[in-house]
Structure 1
Amino acid sequence: MYRSETKTALNKNILYFIRWTAISIVMGTVCGLIGTAFGYGVIYAQRLFKTHSFMLYLMPVAGVLIVLLHQMFHELGNRGTNLILESISSDERIPMATLPCIFISTILSQAVGASAGKEGAALQIGGCIGNYFGDVFHMDERDKKVMIMSGMSGCFGAIFGTPLAAAMFGIEVISIGVAYYAALVPCVFASFIGAQISGALGLHGESFLILHIPEFSLVPALYTVGLGLTCALLSVCFCILLHETQHLYKNKIGNVYVRILVAAGLSIALALIFGRDYCGAGFNLVEKAVDGESAYLGFLLKMIFTAVALGGGFKGGEIVPTLAVGSSFGCTFGLLTGFEPSLCAAAGMLATFVGVTNCPIATMFLGFELFGFEAMPYFAVAVAISFTLSGYYGLYSGQKFTYSKTKAEFINRKAH
């Protein structure tokens, strides 16, 4: 009897593996191709902004086009990444119109220098692809949720070039404390296939070189603890700023056209006062910070630029701006304390990222893929502390905390 049950279970596992491997190949290929097209669109838009200074002043025009686009597809109430997360944790439906809306509106936002990223858009595009193929393959609701997660991982891996982090992020971001390991094979396969396709087509991920990594010992560890503590506070402040700015826009300005025009005007004014370094996604700030260079209040300015743009209706995502905020703050911490600004920039970036996304495993993989393994002891300390002390705040209100961060108890609450 025992052998019969074992054989049956083994056969089910083999069938599961074969089925999801085939599906993942399709998902990874489609996500890789669409992700590559999106990535090149963003790159072209960013070059357009850097090459032509007048593009900044077209931000009101781009804003109106974004609103018109969402009205055309009846997507004015699109909740962005929250919609994708809620479709997995509940029976929320993902309209296919989300894909062209976020694809085009993100490229428009990048072309005029709005402080927004591209990975949040990648998650939404991937979620739409997964939902669509779930319907095509006539999957039940459980399998469709796995498809959505694998789509998120596939597009994230294709656009960002970090397949390990992408795979775990798709599994980990939905419900903190519970990882959807049933999606492990689809997410890993889709993310690696997506990244390989985008890489073969010339779209390569970012990587950075930390200038100096001292031997891990007591004094460096204490500095890292301090960095993790402050990054936890920073991530909470950033989440509150983003959410409250969005609420302020909606409460004070009911008309969506006026709202995005105000956001455009404020963004242009900020750029004229503080410079254009804080426009766009923010990888330029990450590069400077890892090189040991950052304005002392650069992290605060990037937070304000991002809250103004995204809160008013420009599209993209919060992830790359978060990396820019965290790396700039980390570099500032290093400059003020005299402890390895380049290393602090890398650790601060990861500590802030985990504070706003609540995905510690994906964050550790992200550090490995962006910076290599040598600094991992510093990353582990900073990430662990920031994750624990950032509480139940997060970028995505659709994210759930199934278990407490500080006790082995079930809490089932949404992010602030």
Structure 2
Amino acid sequence: MTESNTSFFKAIPRFLNHDTILSYLLKWTILSLLVGAAAGTLSALFLTLLNLATDFRDLHPQIIYLLPAAGFLIGLIYYHKGKTVVRGNNLIFDTIHNPKDIIPFKMTPLVLFGTIVTHLFGGSAGREGTALQMAAATADQLHRPFQLRPADRKILLIAGLSAGFASVFGTPWAGAVFGIEVLLLGKIPQKSIYPAIAAAFTGAYVTSLWGVGHTHYQINLVPPISMLGVFYSILAGLAFSIAAISFVRLTDLFAKVFKKMKYEPIRQVIGGFIVLGVVLLLGTVKYIGLGIPVIVDAFQTASQPQDFAFKILLTAITLAAGFKGGEVTPLFFIGATLGSALAVFLPLPVGLLAGMGFVAVFAGAAKTPVACCIMAFELFGISCGWYVAIACTVAFLASGHHSIYNAPENKSPKHLLFGRFGM
């Protein structure tokens, strides 16, 4: 390469860091497209492998007997190779709030492998955590070649979160808002809004280009909003907040117990045996893995009242023990089945209550009510808006500070409202 060409390529990062509208749009269009394309491709690969793993487990349910051994393998790999990335999502949030070292790229293959193994052998976990970690870790690798400033690096990671969420769920608007809202709207620079939206839509689009689809849910009946409808939605929101609190507290409790085991790989072994024992005791595998069929059924007929409770228990054990995956899809399961079961007591359509719970428990546990409302609009349509908004808001407020994302800096903005009251 000639000296003039070298100078040209070195000049690109300098130009992109100029404080002009043109350089801002050019820089973040390029970076957002790169982050979105990477996130969409990684999510397409991940979802394809996840479907294969789930199908294989469904055809060979006896494979769950190897869950403790699979847990030991995951624990051993992370113990020797993944100590710097074992904090997962909280490492990403901490890096955004306090940018220091670049997130190691090894987070991407490690969490991908760990999550597929977790689902293959019957752990109860989700998928958003994996998508967020892969997208953010990959995005952070662009920090040096583009010579980004610390403030721009934060925006890059936010774009990665948005792209990861949007691509794994097929909800670009919710993904764009999630990447900002989950990190406290008041502390996020306005400059992150465009990159978050652009990366989210690119990620979702690229995943679809790979031919990877997403599950469709349908609310068949939404009655006109009324005072009674508002009252019932508030009651449902309170129930959803209790589920969110229960999930967070139980996961934290189990995590404290498992952390007392000094040799980390043994945690997954013990956790695997406990999950296996509970599954054998219940005599069903409906609570392991993602549980998508159960979620879909919840929109059609009232779920069993114990479904959400057993999902809370098994997911809390799985994740607290150190298996890989995410919390969001289990929260969808918990919310949808709880809402569906509430149809026996609340005179609202079962599909509507399932949809309300689907997003409201997530809103309470993740502290992202706006993203959850938007997700509901994208998945179910705008007609459910009032019911979903009320349920999400009540679950968000009533669940206090309980959050699945527990990095010290990553606290909900509502502490400004309730902090003086000790909530």
- Match in the other structure for 1:345: 354
Q: Which secondary structure state, in structure 2, belongs to the residue aligned with residue 174 of structure 1?
A: coil
Deviation at 1:239, TM superposition (A): 0.7
Q: Distance in 1 between matches of 2:152 and 2:99?
A: 12
Q: 2:414 aligns with which of 404, 408, 411?
A: 404
Residues 75 and 266 of structure 2 are in contact (CA less than 8 Å); yes or no, is this contact kept in structure 1? Answer: no
Residues 48 and 55 of structure 1 are in contact (CA less than 8 Å); yes or no, is this contact kept in structure 2? Answer: no
Q: Give the 5 Å matches for 1:113-124.
A: 113-124=122-133
- Distance 1:408-1:389 versus aligned 2 partners, 3 A rule: closer
- Match in the other structure for 1:144: 153
Q: Distance in 2 between matches of 1:218 and 1:405?
A: 29
- Match in the other structure for 1:101: 110
Q: Distance in 2 between matches of 1:288 and 1:156?
A: 24
Q: 1:267 aligns with which of 266, 272, 275?
A: 275
Q: Distance in 2 between matches of 1:125 and 1:155?
A: 7
- Match in the other structure for 2:374: 365
Q: 2:23 aligns with which of 8, 12, 15?
A: 15
Tell me, yes or no, if structure 1 residue 285 matches structure 2 residue 262: no
1:110-135 CA deviation, whole Å, 9 max, x = no partner? 11110001111111111101111112
Tell me, yes or no, if structure 1 residue 86 matches structure 2 residue 94: yes
Q: Give the 5 Å matches for 1:223-302.
A: 223-251=232-260, 253-274=261-282, 275-302=284-311
Amino acid of the structure 2 residue aligned with 1:21: T
Q: TM-score, with normalisation over the residues of structure 1?
A: 0.92
Residues 364 and 396 of structure 2 are in contact (CA less than 8 Å); yes or no, is this contact kept in structure 1? Answer: yes
Residues 108 and 137 of structure 2 are in contact (CA less than 8 Å); yes or no, is this contact kept in structure 1? Answer: yes
Deviation at 1:179, TM superposition (A): 4.3
Deviation at 1:409, TM superposition (A): 8.5
Q: Which secondary structure state, in structure 1, belongs to the residue aligned with residue 64 of structure 2?
A: helix
Amino acid of the structure 2 residue aligned with 1:226: L
- Match in the other structure for 1:5: none
Q: Which secondary structure state, in structure 1, belongs to the residue aligned with residue 144 of structure 2?
A: helix
Q: 1:58 aligns with which of 50, 66, 75?
A: 66
Q: 1:47 aligns with which of 36, 39, 55?
A: 55
Deviation at 1:345, TM superposition (A): 1.0
- Match in the other structure for 1:4: none
Q: TM-score, with normalisation over the residues of structure 2?
A: 0.90
Residues 126 and 155 of structure 1 are in contact (CA less than 8 Å); yes or no, is this contact kept in structure 2? Answer: yes
Name which of structure 1's ranges 47-56 and 336-345 shifts more when overlaid on structure 2: 336-345
- Match in the other structure for 1:38: 46
Q: Which secondary structure state, in structure 1, belongs to the residue aligned with residue 417 of structure 2?
A: coil
Tell me, yes or no, if structure 1 residue 330 matches structure 2 residue 339: yes
Q: Which sections of structure 1, spanning at least 5 residues, go unmatched?
A: 1-9
Q: Which secondary structure state, in structure 2, belongs to the residue aligned with residue 407 of structure 1?
A: helix
Tell me, yes or no, if structure 1 residue 191 matches structure 2 residue 188: no
Deviation at 1:293, TM superposition (A): 3.0
Deviation at 1:240, TM superposition (A): 0.7
- Match in the other structure for 1:68: 76
- Match in the other structure for 1:7: none
Residues 403 and 410 of structure 1 are in contact (CA less than 8 Å); yes or no, is this contact kept in structure 2? Answer: no
Residues 82 and 107 of structure 2 are in contact (CA less than 8 Å); yes or no, is this contact kept in structure 1? Answer: no
Over aligned residue pairs, what C-alpha RMSD do you find?
A: 2.2
- Distance 1:54-1:86 versus aligned 2 partners, 3 A rule: same
Amino acid of the structure 2 residue aligned with 1:383: C
Residues 267 and 308 of structure 1 are in contact (CA less than 8 Å); yes or no, is this contact kept in structure 2? Answer: yes
Query: What is the percentage of aligned positions where both structures have the same residue?
Result: 28
Count of aligned residue pairs for this structure pair: 403
Q: Give the 5 Å matches for 1:213-228.
A: 213-228=222-237
- Distance 1:355-1:80 versus aligned 2 partners, 3 A rule: same
- Distance 1:296-1:92 versus aligned 2 partners, 3 A rule: farther
Deviation at 1:198, TM superposition (A): 0.9
Amino acid of the structure 2 residue aligned with 1:85: F
Q: Which sections of structure 2, spanning at least 5 residues, go unmatched?
A: 1-17
Deviation at 1:281, TM superposition (A): 1.5
Deviation at 1:12, TM superposition (A): 1.8
Q: Which secondary structure state, in structure 2, belongs to the residue aligned with residue 187 of structure 1?
A: helix
Q: Which secondary structure state, in structure 1, belongs to the residue aligned with residue 141 of structure 2?
A: helix
Residues 176 and 358 of structure 1 are in contact (CA less than 8 Å); yes or no, is this contact kept in structure 2? Answer: no
Deviation at 1:392, TM superposition (A): 1.1
Deviation at 1:223, TM superposition (A): 0.6
